[in-house]
Structure 1
Amino acid sequence: MYTRKPVKLVFYHEFNDVNQAISFEKQVKGWSRKKKEAIINNNWDLLPLLSRNRMKD
């Protein structure tokens, strides 16, 4: 019996260097849900705006 729900891949990005991939993964893990949803929806331009809004809270 499985203890985890099925996982669905919603985002991926290719890197030339494994260290860059690891660094990006660590960075994204600290992001808010809204920022993660922005990259899933390919709205990279929203990231600076979402960062500013988070700092104001």
Structure 2
Amino acid sequence: MKLVFNEVFNDVNQAIAFEKQVKGWRREKKEAIINGTWNLLPELAKAKNKGLLP
């Protein structure tokens, strides 16, 4: 296993909440944060809601 992303949080509860949120994401959204392209997240979310992505 290899660490591909990390983020620093001031509050452990925020870190836990973020981890739970990311665990529910599709691969495309996870790859976006790994690649540092956070700006793609809203578009990826819209695409899923419109049924454009599996």
C-alpha RMSD over aligned residues = 0.4
Aligned equivalents of 1:9, 1:23: Cα separation in 2: 19
Aligned twin of 1:4: none
The aligned length equals 51
Supply the distance in 2 between the matched residues of 1:28 and 1:35 (Cα, whole angstroms).
8
Larger Rg, first or second structure (1 or 2): 1
| 5+ long unaligned stretches in structure 1 | 1-6
Is 1:42 paired with 2:18? no
Gaps of 5+ in 2: none
TM-score by length of 1: 0.88
- 1:26 lines up with 2:17 in the alignment: no
Give structure 1 regions of 4+ aligned residues with deviation exceeding 3 angstroms: none
Does 1:16 find its partner at 2:44? no
TM-score by length of 2: 0.92
Tell me which residue corresponds to 1:54. Answer: 48
Task: Quote the offset at 1:43 in angstroms.
Answer: 0.2
